[in-house]
Amino acid sequence: MEQQLIENRRITSLFCQSIKSCKKISIGHIVYCICKIIIAVILLTINATQSCVWEGANTWMTIVIGESILELVIFSVIIQLIKITPTLLNVGEELHQVIYAENSQIESYGDISEFLANSIDDQTTQIPEREFEKKKVLLAQQVLQEIFKIHSPLKHSRHLVFIINQGLLIWGFILGFEIPYDLNSDCRSRLIIAIYIFLFYTICYYLDVYILIIIILIALPFVAMFLIYKKLTQPKGKKDTDQIIEELKKQYLVKYSPNLIEGVPECKICMQTYQLEEEVLKLPCHESHNYHLICISAWFKVNLNCPVCRKSYAEEENNEQNLEDINQVPQ
């Protein structure tokens, strides 16, 4: 039965096109990694033959080679995973890009394009071309994210690549400001160009992350000032809603039984009769002012007054007085 369900899955045209975009993205990464490795190896070789001694830059390029090899392996594995049809069907199902065809079955797993849904069932074929292209690019990124999520070694390796890249980025900026001027001009120019090309690509690749960090750093002082202002303008003695509920629960929360409740045995908020062992909170403003714990907790989130007598529980001094007055209120 499970095998039949898998064979009946079909993918949308949008998902099929996004898979092709994933392949192009992965191939682009592989080409870039190969270029980095080749350039770094050539520069290291030239530096060694021409006695271009800049140990910091040479070490930096060696680490770039290691990082590029790791990234090359990651995207090579991704290209292989993209060829595995069951994996893609699972990814498509997670991204809601799978349609179930009841009267159509495929006996074996071939290329993912063989699982394309017909145009009648596939609503993505009705999307305008320009919007289709935008959604295809976004969906391709989501497909890659899902593949990383499914295969945890790839996800951890990607995180490691990110950390290494940020370290190389910072180190590259430092090297750019610490150029040893005793080097000959050709040697210095080659190394600086290689460093700046890497820095430019890294910044472009992680631009969304850097923009998010910049926004957070800009917003942080304003958030801090708002929290300080809120703290300073908060009325003295005012307590948090959860704190008030917890304090009331400690003294006035009971499990319902007929002898514990004064008045009509029903919640004044939901108007439902209490059931045995239900949690009931008796407010100290009056014995007959009792409610389901869930109901009064939700009520206090909006209004810190008793629903019947409107006694306020917002201020600490009022709340403490309420707790003391329970024996003084006429029954």
- Taking only the tens place, the pLDDT of each residue in 109-137 is 667 777 777 777 788 888 888 888 889 98
The Cα-based distances of 24 to 113, 134, 188, 190, 304 in angstroms read 16, 16, 35, 30, 58
pLDDT score at 256: 87
* Residue located via tokens 């295969």: 151
What's the full length of the chain, in residues? 331
Interatomic CA distance for residues 217 and 228, integer angstroms: 17
Tokens of 165: 């890249």
- Residue 283 and residue 252 in contact, taking contact as beta carbons nearer than 8 Å: yes
Which CATH number applies to 241-325?
A: 3.30.40.10
Interatomic CA distance for residues 164 and 64, integer angstroms: 9
Q: Which among 124, 150, 165 has a CA at the least distance from the CA of 16?
A: 124
19: enclosing H helix or E strand: helix 13-49
- Residue 27 and residue 139 in contact, taking contact as beta carbons nearer than 8 Å: no
What's the angle, vertex CA 169, arms to CA 26 and CA 32, rounded to 5? 25
- DSSP states along 142-211: HHHHHHHHH-HHHHHHHHHHHHHHHHHHHHHHHHHH---TTS-HHHHHHHHHHHHHHHHHHHHHTHHHHH
pLDDT score at 102: 67
- DSSP states along 239-254: --HHHHHHHHHHHHEE
pLDDT score at 1: 37
DSSP tally for the chain: helices H, then strands E: 11, 5
Question: 136-166 burial, b for 16+ CB within 10 Å, e for fewer?
Answer: beebbebbbebbbeebeebeebbeeeeebbe
- CB within 8 A of 121, min separation 6: which ones? 10, 99, 101
pLDDT score at 328: 47
Interatomic CA distance for residues 16 and 95, integer angstroms: 12
pLDDT score at 331: 39
Hey, is 265 helix, strand or coil?
A: coil
Residue-range domain boundaries for the chain: 2-207, 241-325
Q: Which among 152, 157, 148 has a CA at the least distance from the CA of 25?
A: 148
Counting as low any pLDDT under 70, the low residues of the chain are 1-7, 51-53, 102-110, 179-184, 234-239, 315-331
